[in-house]
Structure 1
């Protein structure tokens, strides 16, 4: 999928753990990992809004479109 999720970049910038973010957002660490690793098929706007609030960022800081990106966020060959 050409949508790449950059939650790990924002976590590093904010010096926040996956567990702390999951707690702040109100989702399980496992579900956050699915989203973070680019394996999610969809994300609710309420979850996206909660992520943006917890990370003090915009949706575009977390999601980007990349031509030819595979399901793991890496470009397809």
Structure 2
């Protein structure tokens, strides 16, 4: 599992979703899905554009939660998925 830290990064910079959209050209739908952690996937180019604009590293934008990822994988294996 991953945590998307976009709300924190935007708040630290006193920016809104609309500000990020206008500055980067990334669709509001994509930004909103990342902001509210609804995204099932995201393009590397999108992450790159966001990180470049916010002047942050990918690790500041996305946090990997290893234990939860392992638990989810094991549950899928048990369910036969």
Larger radius of gyration: 2
TM-score, normalised with respect to structure 2: 0.75
Matched residues in 2 for 1:12 and 1:37: separation?
Answer: 14
Displacement of 1:68 in angstroms is 2.9
Structure 2 unaligned regions, length at least 5: 70-81
Structure 1 unaligned regions, length at least 5: 70-77
After superposition, the CA RMSD in angstroms is 1.4
Give the length in aligned residue pairs.
68
Runs of 4+ in 1 over 3 A off after TM superposition: none
TM-score, normalised with respect to structure 1: 0.79
- Correspondence list, 1:30-41, <5 A: 30-41=29-40
- Correspondence list, 1:1-77, <5 A: 2-66=1-65, 67-68=67-68
Displacement of 1:65 in angstroms is 1.4
Name the one with the larger helix percent.
2
RCO higher in 1 or 2 (8 Å CA, sep ≥ 6)? 1
